[in-house]
Structure 1
């Protein structure tokens, strides 16, 4: 009797342990499905699609996209690396505050900055009106600043919003560089500028490659700012080709071109940090900042706070003023906006829970894999994180075919039991939108949980197994309580990113389903900025949460 019980228990143990790799396979296949479907749909388009795109759409969109990426890349390198070196190598008034304040533009999505500055710098807006009043002019016909709309305006605004990606990685790298290496450069006759360009910057090249690649991926994903500013990029072309012309094959072909750009950016990033390993047998002495006084200190103060003022303070102050004005005039917000707030919170919470659960499945499958092909599970884990590199428009186009096939399969099963006519079960509901969110932000959950699991000693897991606990029981009773900080950080980041996501939401949302991001997009498209300011301010306030936590982590860790 005892042997039978042991046999049943052993079989149940093996079945439970096999569920984790099976779940990882399923999640990885779901993540890879949009990419494979995108290639299939693009290949299904006839030559007329390709010829039309090659003659009328791709040349302008591709050139604009490449110039936008190049301009933003140069600007974020200058702003991010310059700001990181400024707060690392020099000491001046407000340096400690500026150290974390330079991260604040991360809280403002690119489309909100474009939305704010279009109204702020309008010929009849507050800024130009003030300039004309100071110069003695009374009409925009007498004096007006250059129009913000255009490629130059897009590069300027996106650069001042996305530079924190470079600043964050370069700040950490500069802080961990040995002071003796920089002193050796000075002994050899290098000036402060020479030390930066010939010693500090080359050593920080891997971090620079990471930061620039992240900023460029965000630039490629942008749709709201580019469309508001009248720049026809590949992302905007995907949206207009599908929505305006109802040409799915053409949209897929443009999306495939964007995917090629993404792969190129990732390869450039990997090439830039291919020699990222450094070693030292001595304990490194960190850089000691040089104290500035007088005019140099004032110049450092102005240069340090200028990116913060342009990328965060000015648009946030404008949104706050417009929100107060709107609430004072109307006495509240509309029911439609309240519904958008509810929809945003609801869909973000559901997507966050699903994404974190999928992250737990993947990371625990890799952790608990012993002789069950851990290398294959590690490959599947990496495969499951590719969604973060996919622009929202590319992901949305790629999801259409898998979702349609799933609808067909579900309708076929339902037809076996009833005569109910076929209908859209997944497509046109929140399920497709949630799928896009989970695929796009699964990398955040996997990365955070992998980092948390790395801090838990394997001896705890071994002790649990010796006491007869299953893999699932070990996770539930031992690891999950210890992973609460990592789970909380991942959940917060996923929730905020889901709230801000615009391209995928625009393309996959159900009919008459508005989030704060799509509500703002619609208000800006109609030119009615009043309630759009309320929605934009709500997104910015929520986006401040992870930035504050990130800044606190930097201060606690010393860098």
Structure 2
């Protein structure tokens, strides 16, 4: 009898353990699935585009293939190549000078060289509008001397030159920041060895420093490529028929969504080619100084050499920020007394602020789930979830806009969901922001969690705290600065976004970006300066983390040594 009671008790205990383990397993699976959800949402626009990519193209697509497609592809490739070349010319030498030289005015340039990131290309293009008007006498002279063909060629060269200068001068900080961080971390022993072998300063730069920093330079260059592919405002303003402009033309002007989808897929092919080239060039290469090595110490540069270095660093700042900023300030001051300009600008600023604030919070929450899930549940698959979440930044904005627009159009056809075609525009716009900029939130949040010792999390779990309670009580108080940084960067990117907003915004809904484009299209450039100046001033807030990053990489480390 006692044996039967013991056996029954043992069976009961085994069943209880199985039941508890089943419950734990269910909770684990639900937790991992919840952490995968923010990353899977990024894939939705791609799936929507792919699902409609094989629909019949019709006469509209045949016309594009026959007459326009070659021009779209050629001009897109040419624009990317020229802008990337100028960004490298402006970004790499300035990073080298800031990392290796000590000259008067360097402390100002530490933060000034990142200011062009607060100046969107479509805003800077306004400031160079006078250049287009000022070239009219030159066009007339060329036509009189060389004929109509030379006149048309001169106009095209001038438009392309201004577009490349505007985009290169506002995007070079991506190359500058990554190159500066790499140059500042290089071990001094390699450069000293080159000097002892009689290699001059320029040969040291070309043969030693630049090859060692190639992974960082390529990473910054890939960001320039992505931003150039996403551009609509500058290309539209200067009359360049890029693929992004072709998407807008096919969808919004002609109403051919299937043509826009196929052009968006070509944009995706360009972006993926950039990613593969970046991976191929970088590979597994990386150059880090050892923990016991002395890092590069800037050498003192004075006299005419110091003046040349200072002027060389001021050129990109002047082209990308000072010239546009001064022009916008003068135009805004001239229209200061016009009530319409300020009223419309403040209303658009509120719309931009609301969208950017809501999108920034949503992005940080999604990034927190993706990144924290790896620590909470330890599932290997969540590492892939983080990588999937990073895909969004490589997606062209035109493709995201087309995918979200197709999704809203599909939902509106469901029974009883016709109202979504109008009222879901804001939700679709926020979802597009989330898809495009989730990577901006993941990067700083991931960096914050990497700085937290894993033992704290293990101790919390040992004391009986569940994963979500551990996240709330232990992890969040330690990573909140990283959450704030991610929210700030996402806020600024959404605040400046033009392509997604222009396509997906509700009817009669203006943000600062769309208001600037509308006033520019109406040739009311001085009035467009008011919203443009507000946008730039508010965007400067997001440069504070980048400024501290550049100072830590380029200056404070040497001061500590």
TM above 0.5: yes
Give the whole-Å Cα distance in 1 for the aligned partners of 2:20 and 2:463: 14
**Structure 1 partner of 2:488:** 492
Between the aligned partners of 1:462 and 1:321, the Cα distance in structure 2 is 59
Match of 2:397 in 1: 392
Which residue of structure 2 aligns with residue 445 of structure 1? 441
- Cα distance, 1:282–1:536 mapped onto 2, change above 3 Å: closer
Other-structure match for 1:102: 113
The aligned residue for residue 140 of structure 2 is: none
| Structure 1 SS opposite 2:52 | helix
How far the C-alpha of 1:477 sits from its partner, in A, is 1.2
Task: Report the alpha carbon displacement of residue 50 of structure 1 after superposing the two structures with TM.
Answer: 4.1
Kindly state the Cα deviation for residue 519 of structure 1 after the two structures are TM-superposed.
0.5
**Alpha carbons of structure 1 residues 422 and 75: separation in structure 2 relative to 1, 3 Å:** closer
Determine the C-alpha separation between the residues in 1 that align with 2:291 and 2:461. Answer: 40
5+ long unaligned stretches in structure 1: 129-144, 415-420
Q: Give the equivalent residue in structure 1 for 2:380.
A: 375
By how many angstroms is 1:547 displaced? 1.5
Q: State the alpha-carbon separation in 2 of the partners of residues 544 and 250 from structure 1.
A: 38
2:369 to 345, 348, 361: 361
**Equivalence for 2:409:** 404
In the aligned structure 1, how far is the partner of 2:65 from the partner of 2:421? 36
Q: CA contact under 8 A between 1:174 and 1:204: conserved in structure 2?
A: yes
Matched, 1:166 2:180: no
SS at structure 2 position matched to 1:27 = helix
The 2-side partners of 1:24 and 1:32 are apart by 15
Distance in 1, Cα, partners of 2:310 & 2:109:
9
Alpha-carbon spacing, 1:531–1:181, altered in 2? closer, same or farther (3 Å): same
- Of 506, 511, 514 in structure 1, the residue corresponding to residue 510 of structure 2 is 514
Q: Aligned residue for 1:186?
A: 195
- Decide whether aligned partners of structure 1 residues 27 and 394 sit closer, same or farther in structure 2, where only a CA change above 3 A counts: same
Distance 1:195 1:115 in 2: 40
Moved more, 199-208 or 397-406: 397-406
Deviation at 1:251, TM superposition (A): 0.7
2:472 to 473, 476, 493: 476
Q: 2:78 aligns with which of 58, 62, 67?
A: 67
Q: 1:224-280: per-residue Cα shift (whole Å, max 9, x none)?
A: 011111111111111111111101111111111110000000011111211323366
- Match of 2:420, SS state, is coil
User: Which runs of no fewer than 5 residues in structure 2 stay unpaired?
Assistant: 1-12, 138-153
For residue 335 of structure 2, give the secondary structure of its aligned residue in structure 1. helix
Verify the 8 A CA contact 2:377 2:467 in the aligned structure 1: no
Q: Give the number of the structure whose residues are more often helix, by fraction.
A: 2
Instruction: Give the Cα separation in 2 of the matches to 1:555 and 1:521.
Output: 35
Change (3 A) 1:537 1:19: farther
Is residue 84 from structure 1 mapped to residue 95 from structure 2 by the alignment? yes
Alignment-derived partner of residue 350 in structure 2: 342
Conserved? CA contact 2:187–2:289, under 8 Å:
no
Inter-partner Cα distance in structure 1 for 2:423 and 2:338: 37
Query: For each residue in 1:278-325, what CA deviation from the matched residue of structure 2 results, as whole angstroms up to 9, or x when unmatched?
Result: 366562222232322322222112111111111111111211222122
CA distance in structure 2 between the aligned counterparts of 1:156 and 1:175, rounded to whole angstroms: 28
Q: What TM-score, normalized to structure 1?
A: 0.88
Aligned-partner SS, 2:310: helix
Aligned residue-pair number: 527
> Could you tell me which residue of structure 1 aligns to residue 146 of structure 2?
none
Alignment of 1:522-541 (within 5 A): 522-541=518-537
For residue 335 of structure 1, report the CA deviation from its aligned partner: 3.5
State the Cα RMSD in Å: 2.6
Secondary structure at the aligned position of 2:116 is classed as helix
Pairing partner for 1:436 from 432, 435, 439 = 432
**Cα separation, 1, equivalents of 2:351 and 2:201:** 53
Separation in 1 of the partners of 2:477 and 2:440?
A: 19
Conservation of the 8 A alpha-carbon contact between 1:149 and 1:229: no
Deviation string, structure 1 residues 434-486 (Cα, Å, up to 9, x no partner): 10001111111111111111111122211221222211111111111111101
1:135-146 aligned at under 5 Å gives the runs: none
User: C-alpha distance in 2, partners of 1:343/1:218?
Assistant: 23
| Aligned twin of 1:216 | 225
Match of 2:270 in 1: 261
Q: In the TM superposition, what is the alpha-carbon distance from 1:12 to its structure 2 partner?
A: 6.8
User: Is 2:546 the partner of 1:550?
Assistant: yes
Counterpart contact for 2:57–2:259, Cα < 8 Å: no
Question: Is residue 422–residue 506 contact of structure 2 (8 Å, CA) maintained in 1?
Answer: no
How far is 1:186 from its partner?
Answer: 2.1
Q: Retained in 2: the 8 A contact 1:429–1:510? A: yes
In the other structure, the counterpart of 2:328 is 319
Task: Report the TM-score, using the length of structure 2 for normalisation.
Answer: 0.88
2: CA distance between counterparts of 1:206 and 1:485?
28
Give 1:417's aligned residue: none
Give the whole-Å Cα distance in 2 for the aligned partners of 1:425 and 1:71.
40
How far apart are the structure 2 equivalents of 1:107 and 1:80? 16
Matches within 5 A, 1:170-319: 170-278=179-287, 283-319=292-328
Shift in alpha-carbon separation, 1:120–1:13, aligned structure 2, 3 A? farther
CA contact under 8 A between 1:365 and 1:377: conserved in structure 2? yes
Q: CA deviation at 1:20?
A: 3.1
- Kindly state the Cα deviation for residue 41 of structure 1 after the two structures are TM-superposed: 1.9
Q: CA deviation at 1:6?
A: 10
